Amino acid sequence: MKAIYEYLDYRRYMQEFYEERKRCSAFSWREFSHLAGFSSSNYMKLVCDGKTRLSKVGVERVAMAMELEGSAKEYFAQMVVFADSGDEAKKNAALKRMRELAKENKVRTLSADAYAYFSEWYNPVLRELAPMNPGAKPMELSKLCYPEISATEIRKTLDFLIQMGLLKKHDEYHYEQTEKVVMGVAGMVPPAMRPMHRQMAKLAMDAIDNVPVEDRSFAGATMGISRDTYRRIACEAEKFRQKVVAIASEDKHGEQVYRLNLQLFPLTRRQEENHG
């Protein structure tokens, strides 16, 4: 599902949210309405079909049901005003605010020709680190990386990020992100992201021994589940990842570059595989 800032129609956003959840679980309009606190089991469908509108209270409830917070929640509320207000001045003001929020929370989706970005773990790291340290030379950035990479590789990576349009260079050693968030399109994930996943998993292993406990968070659960439950958990994990990205995009005072790995994988074979 696209980032909320790519939508102008709140009904379309709600519809696609519903369809995304339904793909992952037995989600229904009844459950969607219930999550938003509406007694009518098909109220959310009526809203999406344009047969009714959301009140101010309704906006709050629906935003809560879709787990929208901060600027994403405000953007959703402005979409409702833009779509439903009969006052032209209010509509224009809402659209203006939507554009401001979209600009502040830019999301870049990389297409198939940008697989190279995900080939090395330090590409996204330098994209975050360089703007965070204005004036820092490649050797200084090198020493901030864990593990360290050469100043030569830093220079090559920064040039690559500028060429890709992911960083903009102002004065010497002063960089700015062109977008707040970079994502891969869903279809490219299996082949393109494997190098990144391998490298980040290795870095996570190293962090267990080399990063102080107070600076890292590791947790896990081993459980016996069905395929349907796996799909539900995977869907919840993706929702959580998107929520974390939204929270991080609102941080204007970054101090370090962190990586969040969400891993859910089998430790045993299915019974039918064992008997086959």
Greater confidence, 224 or 184? 224
- Split at pLDDT 50, 70, 90, the class of 65 is very high
pLDDT at 189 over 90: no
Which residue from 44, 11, 47 is spatially nearest to 28, judged by alpha carbons?
Answer: 44
Which residue from 259, 140, 133 is spatially nearest to 199, judged by alpha carbons?
Answer: 259
Tokens at 29, concatenated: 């309009």
pLDDT of residue 201: 93
pLDDT of residue 33: 94
The half-sphere exposure of 273 on its side-chain side, counting CA atoms within 13 A, is: 4
pLDDT of residue 16: 93
| Second CATH level (architecture) for the domain 110-209 | Orthogonal Bundle (1.10)
pLDDT of residue 276: 55
Distance CA 69, CA 66 (A): 9
Mean pLDDT (whole number) for 117-146 = 93
**Tens-digit pLDDT profile for residues 135-178:** 999 999 999 998 899 999 999 999 999 998 899 999 889 999 98
Greater confidence, 183 or 200? 200
pLDDT at 15 over 80: yes
- Split at pLDDT 50, 70, 90, the class of 184 is low
pLDDT of residue 251: 86
Greater confidence, 214 or 188? 214
Distance CA 176, CA 161 (A): 11
pLDDT at 202 over 80: yes
- Split at pLDDT 50, 70, 90, the class of 188 is very low
Helical axes 227-249 vs 70-84, angle rounded to 10°: 90
pLDDT of residue 255: 92
- Split at pLDDT 50, 70, 90, the class of 231 is confident
User: Within the chain, where are the H helices?
Assistant: 10-24, 29-35, 43-48, 56-65, 70-84, 88-104, 122-132, 138-144, 151-163, 189-192, 194-210, 227-249, 271-275
Neighbours of 169 (CB within 10 A): 14
**What are the extents of the domains in the chain?**
4-105, 110-209
pTM of whole model > 0.85? no
pLDDT of residue 171: 86
